[in-house]
Structure 1
Amino acid sequence: MRSTRLMALSLTAAMGLAACGAGESSGSHDSGPITIGMVAPLTGPLAPLGIGDKAAAEQEVAAINKAGGIGGRKINLTVVDDKSEVPQSVTEYSKMTANQDISLILSSASVSASTAIGPTALSRKMPTLALGPVAAFVDGKNPYAFTIPASPTAYAEKLVDYFSDQGVKTLSIAYNGKDVYGTTGNDATKAAAKAAGIDVVMDEPLDPASTDFTPLITKAKNARADAFLVWAAGPAPVILAKQLQGTGVKMTATGANASNLFTEPAGDAAEGMIMASSIAVPGKDLPDGPLKSLIDAFAGPWQKTNKGVFPPQFAFDGVTGIQIAKAAIEKAGSSEREAIRQALEGLDVLTPTGRFQYSKTDHSGLDKSAVAIVEVKDGAFTATGFSRKQFETELPR
């Protein structure tokens, strides 16, 4: 009898401890610091992307914490280096998903790396904001993976709109055939060009590790296209731009190159170059309004700590990632992972890079109005007349 009573008391006590433990675990997502993880290429060939993402995210976290955090809770930002390697990025991301203190992860600006973590995001049920334009996440079939930069399709469509406006009839394309960014961008451009009646006369992969692009340049010269577009990131576009000088072939670039980390090493070769970018990159040229105010609020402090240099593409992606995370946590009223994911799927918020309107079937949230066409002038990015005209009617609000 006594033994039965003792067993009953022990069971009651155990159940009480279990309930207490469960309450503490749940409560940890409603009080105390909020931890956001970030996987970035801080070393290796894609370091220019990750360094900008990290610095901007840290600046925004500091500003949020100074203002009182999220509902009085401070943000802890944990950043790890994936060394510009896809397997390393997947490994670091997986480690973060196992840490129950981490509520959300900003994945790599490398499209290949962020694409590769998709299955882990799904199996570990980790809300993830990709800092690269991952086409595979756009349709929402992976309920846990969202993108921050505009999709390759949005970039391609805006570039083709510009080419059409300039009377381009024939187009040559070179792309990184070893990277998802290059292949998806190339496919999206060909589709947009076909719809616009522009003939793609050259469609050539490039080796991102090459230091001599003479064969590619020869093909581009022989194609005699009205425009030459390059979908690639890292050192290769810088080398290619330099080797194109004096050939008569003018290179058009994408958002992967909309950074002083491209223009500075490219030097004179970048001057006058046309490229697509986030609408935030030519922020100084935007008309006054809510979008410009958000851009200026971030750009001012950035310039003070970066020798007056206006934020590059990747910095704007980094600050937007943190702002989206903050908005989702505020909407969820919790830092619990599933609550954040559900909040993301109905989020409607204006950021420095455009108005995000995520839904269950749209995990990009941006359209081509978030993309600008810029020209490099004196090493800085200036909105083209084409984009200035579109700012009058297509500006995200």
Structure 2
Amino acid sequence: MKSKTLHALAALATVSVTVLALAGCSGGGGTSPSGNAGGVIKIGAVMPLTGPLAALGTGDKEAAEQTVADINKAGGIDGKKIELTVADDKTDPTESVKQFNQMAADKSYSAMLASSMTSAAAAVSSSILQYKIPTIALSPVDQYVDGSNAYAFTSPGSTKIYAAALVNYWKTQDVKNVAVAYTGTDLYGQTGAASTKQLAEAAGMKIVLSEAYDPAATDFTPLITKVVAAHPDAFVQWGSGPAPVIITKQIAGKGVPFYVTGSQASNLWLQPSGAAAEGVIGATTAALDPDALPAGAYKDLVEAVATPWRAANKNVNPPEFAYGGATAIQLLKNAIEKAGSTDRGKIRDALEQTDLLTPNGHYHYSKTDHMGLDASAIGIMIVKDGVWKATDWQIDKFKTDAPK
């Protein structure tokens, strides 16, 4: 996906979100619990707002800001307004650690959101523990799922539940042979490919090709040639940034069923892919096609994100990342209210007791599950007339298995 700044949703809100310059953050160290000055609740966030993964970060940022504005407009949390500080990690794990540390070391911050780039969010793992600050990753960091990092949680589902959704769908499509391509330099690609291979083989499918690619490449002819020669019933790519657009265009018309994941659940992949995206199937958040959802509490939560987004973006549905950003703020709000405190340790403890329906699914965090989602959070979508829509299979599944 090409880097492209989306129209800001914050303009719709009557209460603005304060986005502070990091130069103003305190550099004080220490690991003691945070406090709040001036009756505000400070949350820090690090996101890729520039660089090849900017599409992920901008979606997260705008939806998080809108959610903060909505909460503040309604009176805040126990009368305190949220103050959100957003930093750009430039799609660079080293920069992400630097920016994260600047805010986490400041005791006035109660919680953090880690990067939309999986490798960058994983890179701050030791910092999360050093500063003992509850952190929700905006990317699927699989190593955070089991709770071994007591302060690290995720907003998106793990790559494993995305892969499971694909494999379950493939079973209904009589898929026997699977080809997998993935970014060899990023954890998202590596863990996604590993999860797909493991679950597909367990389901009796054969992996006929597993190939890492360079996300900076501009021509994938050698990869596409191998995929076509392998004659797979399904070809899935795990990666983010501009490369998937090129792969989409080069596999189009080759007679190979092509699958993508949540990283392509955005107009910033759809638009540059153009006609080549037509018919591509993806495992994405179940919220991606709000109109397909059955009436109920979950659809209401999804529409609360989708309606202002559409109004600000020419009636375009939100990307997957928007639901992740909005949900991360809602998870922290719920934990702070449950804790009755802005103390870092108490918020962390409250997060582990989360039982909350959100636009991104129903979360049940626990001591050993810091991802908290089940298969109902993931939907199987297809590109129709340049728009992500729920497949007929998914629409039928929603009747009995929508988040609730």
* TM bin (shorter chain): over 0.9
TM-score, length basis structure 1: 0.92
1:70-113 per-residue CA deviation (whole Å, 9 max, x = no partner) reads 11110100000000001000111111111111110011010100
**Residues 26 and 381 of structure 1: CA distance in aligned 2, closer, same or farther (over 3 Å):** closer
Q: Deviations over 1:134-172 (max 9, x none)?
A: 100000000000000011110000100011111101100
- In structure 1, C-alpha distance between the alignment counterparts of 2:259 and 2:231, rounded to whole Å: 15
- Superposed CA offset, 1:13-66 (max 9, x none): xxxxxxxxxxxx989449700011110000000000000000001111111111
Residue matched to 1:360: 367
**Separation in structure 1 between the aligned mates of residue 151 and residue 106 of structure 2, nearest angstrom:** 17
Deviates further, 329-338 or 247-256? 247-256
Runs of 4+ in 1 over 2 A off after TM superposition: 25-31, 245-250
Q: Is the 8 A contact 1:31 1:73 kept in 2?
A: no
Question: 40, 47, 59: which is aligned to 1:40?
Answer: 47
Q: What residue number does 2:392 align with? A: 385
Is the 8 Å Cα contact of residues 35 and 109 (structure 2) preserved in structure 1? no
1:20-39 matches, cutoff 5 A: 28-29=35-36, 32-39=39-46
SS of 1:202's equivalent?
strand
Instruction: Tell me which residue corresponds to 1:296.
Output: 303
Cα pair 1:282 1:383 within 8 Å, conserved? yes
Unaligned 5+ runs, structure 2: 1-31
Distance 1:209 1:28 in 2: 43
C-alpha deviation, 1:247, in angstroms: 2.2
Structure 2 SS opposite 1:129:
strand
Q: Percent identity?
A: 52
Give the equivalent residue in structure 1 for 2:76. Answer: 69
**Which residue in 1 is equivalent to 2:265?**
258
CA distance in 2, matches of 1:390, 1:102: 41
What CA distance in whole angstroms lies between the structure 2 residues aligned with 1:134 and 1:126?
17
What is the Cα deviation at residue 388 of structure 1?
A: 1.3
Query: Greater helix share, 1 or 2?
Result: 1
Name the CA distance, whole Å, in 2 between partners of 1:56 and 1:373: 23
| 1:380 CA drift (Å) | 1.4
Q: CA–CA distance in 2 between the matches of 1:97 and 1:26?
A: 11
Matched residue, 1:229: 236
Q: 1:3 aligns to what? A: none
Give the AA of the match of 2:179.
Answer: S
Find the partner of 2:137 among 125, 130, 155. 130
Unaligned runs of 5+ in 1: 1-24
Structure 1 residue 194, shift from structure 2 partner: 1.2
Among candidates 333, 336, 352, match of residue 326 of structure 1: 333
Partner of 2:20: none
1:82-231 matches, cutoff 5 A: 82-231=89-238
Aligned residue for 1:344?
A: 351
- Cα root mean square deviation, aligned: 1.3
Where 1:280 maps in the other structure, the secondary structure is helix
Against the structure 1 CA distance between its residues 95 and 30, is the aligned structure 2 distance closer, same or farther, given a 3 Å change threshold? closer
Is contact 2:36-2:109 (8 Å) kept?
no
Q: Residues 282-324 of structure 1: CA distance to partner in whole angstroms, max 9, x if unpaired?
A: 2210100110000111111111111111111011111001111
**TM superposition shift of 1:249:** 2.5
Counterpart residue identity of residue 306, structure 1: N
**Which one has a bigger Cα radius of gyration?**
1
TM-score by length of 2: 0.90
Counterpart Cα distance in 2 of 1:27 and 1:108: 21
Matched, 1:271 2:274: no
**Partner deviation per Cα, 1:317-368 (whole Å, 9 max, x = no partner):** 1100111111111101111111100000111000001100000000000011
Q: Tell me what 1:57 maps to.
A: 64
What's the secondary structure of 1:389's corresponding residue? Answer: helix
- Mapped to 1, the partners of 2:227 and 2:72 lie a distance apart of 51
**1:267-286 deviation line (CA, Å, top 9, x unaligned):** 11111110010011122101
* Aligned counterparts of 2:51 and 2:296: Cα–Cα separation in 1: 39
Matched, 1:249 2:256: yes
Q: Distance in 2 between matches of 1:293 and 1:312?
A: 17
3-state DSSP of counterpart to 2:147: coil
The question of whether the paired residues in 2 share the 8 Å contact of 1:354 and 1:396 is answered with yes
